[in-house]
Chains A and B, each alone.
Chain A
């Protein structure tokens, strides 16, 4: 945008930007600060932004209090499996949705839109009963199945956009050269789609890594629970929490998503754009 902006207006814009930055960043800064504060400072009547004597004690204590490692392992298992399965089954469908204007593709697109607003209450009870009949309550496999389906709408959404960005002419050329549908898909389209597929898988991973509601309902025993559910155990029954370890564990649980998000942020933004405009 090359519009001339007057100097006071510019100053106002920077001031506004600063306000936004403070609003968006301060809780996170506070979380980190609390995570590294020794108990003595946490009990102080005048909390400070920066710990006087930063410590890793909270982290150690957090691992003592709750089975964090096992929970992280569970989260990793569930999120990785769900993400992989989701892209493997979503990619072909997204391909059809993007390339063929059929009634099925229309219906699928409609479903994707509706599922953005999916009424979880109405779905969780039947799911609970179904999984119970299959003896998949309190099982990571059951949760993986739920997460696969749960991440499908957005995965399809993103992937359809990526497929559309691959020129159909390339496929037509391959078809003219005598390659079959599957051949074309594997040797022409898939390589061009690869970055999009990876981004989609990463997004599905974060969604599953962060998810709480289904995990809370479907996983009963602490050995099976995922990281977000274990985190709530720090809060205690009456909500009285040991602030240091709580903050340390919470900060730790965020790191994987933050790292992945930093990598794929641009691609997600693109997917979101397509999604938002299409609705």
Chain B
């Protein structure tokens, strides 16, 4: 895989170079004519079932489309967006979505980094830890949700039993308590996404040449100094990418929380996706839900762009 990485990196340079020097030469061929038949079988479904719906979705946001209605759908301009602007419930769910996304992404990154650093060491039982650390990845999200409901269960759950065992009180109804529901689902989110983050970071760590570590150690650098001066700079691109992706994934997540709390209690865990799902498929407000989708995508894109540009700039200065 390092091979693949190296090739993409070196592959990028000539690409931009060609664009600049391509004046006299024949234009970069779009694709070998004989290769079209290789691309079309995948390209057509992608265009029809993914790019198409995306554009259609944006159009729907400007209509009053509803399910099961007989009158034709009308173009209503930005009315959905105006309604959305005044919809306090939506903004509340948006706030919860951001809380959840940050609440999952940040601790998960820290925990996964720790685990990746450990798994990169020559420790006994490392294989066991690797195997166990990957399990959440293989599990259906629905099962993860069910599993944690069993853990959190007020009477028969292991969490409350442990709390009672340690004499820390009687425990509580974690998923239905107004104050505890969101933190409780955030813990599940952290758990569920650990493998991908850990694996990505571990992969990044293994790209760091050992010699650098050894040289730093010979110079008398302690563990923290070595991490800061050798490991972290090499890891940064991977860390940045995985954090950005995790943030979006989390913001868009659905199944886990749907199974855990269905958005309750009192909307305390109603993520934007749950809100939009209900709006579309329970109340049939297709146009309105599509508008929600547009707002979610727009805000996430802007946040990410700001973040990525900021990080790239700070990276260039060094």
Q: Which residues of A pack against B, CB within 8 Å? A: 1-5, 9, 13-14, 16-17, 20-21, 23-28, 30-31, 34, 42-47, 49, 88-90, 92-93, 95-96, 100-106, 108, 111, 115-130, 145-146, 148-150, 152, 156, 160-161, 164-165, 181, 206, 209-213, 217, 227-229, 231-232, 234-235, 239, 241, 243, 246-247, 250-251, 253-254, 257-258, 260-262, 265, 269-274, 276-279
Judged by DSSP, the binding face of A is helix
Contact residue among B42, B238, B292 (Cβ-Cβ distance under 8 Å from A276):
B238
The answer to whether A213 touches B255 (Cβ under 8 A) is: yes
Report the stretch among B84-92, B178-186, B242-250 that lies at the interface: B242-250
* 16 cross-chain CB contacts under 8 A: A20-B114, A24-B132, A28-B135, A44-B156, A104-B31, A120-B254, A125-B65, A125-B286, A126-B290, A149-B49, A156-B42, A212-B140, A247-B147, A261-B134, A269-B203, A272-B199
Give the distance in Å from the alpha carbon of A235 to the alpha carbon of B143 in the complex. Answer: 12
A27, A106, A146, A271: most-surrounded residue (chain B CB, <10 A): A27
Known pairs A21-B129, A258-B138; A277 contacts B53 (CB<8 A):
no
For residue A251, which residues in chain B have a CB less than 8 angstroms away from its CB?
143
Which of A9, A47, A246 is packed against the most chain B CB atoms within 10 Å? Answer: A47
Measured between C-beta atoms, what is the minimum distance from A195 to chain B in Å?
14
Contact of A27 among B191, B242, B300 (CB under 8 A): B191
B-chain residues with CB within 8 Å of residue A228 when the two chains form the complex: 140-143, 255
Q: Does B3 contact A (CB under 8 A)?
A: yes
Given contacts A49-B158, A96-B39, contact A117 B45 (CB under 8 A): no
Q: CA–CA, A260 to B126, complex, Å?
A: 21
Contacts A20-B133, A21-B129, A217-B277 known; list 15 others, CB within 8 Å: A3-B213, A13-B118, A24-B135, A46-B161, A102-B29, A103-B31, A117-B245, A117-B248, A125-B57, A126-B56, A152-B42, A258-B139, A269-B199, A277-B238, A279-B241
Give the residue among A24, A217, A274 with the most B Cβ atoms within 10 A: A24
Q: Return the chain B residue nearest A234 by Cβ.
A: B146
Chain B residues in contact with chain A, CB under 8 A? 1, 3-5, 7-8, 11, 14-15, 28-32, 34-35, 37-39, 41-43, 45-46, 49-54, 56-58, 60, 65, 111, 114-115, 118, 120-126, 128-129, 131-144, 146-151, 153, 155-158, 161, 164, 191, 194, 196, 199-200, 202-204, 206-207, 210, 213-214, 217, 223, 237-238, 241-242, 244-245, 248-249, 252, 254-255, 258-259, 262, 272-273, 276-277, 280-281, 286, 289-290, 292-294, 296-297, 300
Q: Per a CB cutoff under 8 Å, which of A88, A246, A260 touches B146?
A: A246
Q: Given A13-B123, A125-B293, are A20 and B140 also a contact pair (CB < 8 Å)?
A: no
Please judge, given known A-B contacts A88-B41, A277-B207, whether A117 and B249 are in contact too, CB under 8 Å.
Answer: yes
With A21-B132, A125-B60, A127-B53 as known contacts, state yes or no: A100 contacts B31, CB within 8 Å.
Answer: yes
A209: nearest residue on chain B (CB-CB)?
B140
Contacting pair B142 A231 (CB below 8 A): yes
Nearest-Cβ distance from residue A119 to partner chain B, whole angstroms: 4
B142-A212 in contact (CB<8A):
yes
**Which B residues are in CB contact (< 8 Å) with A217?**
277, 281
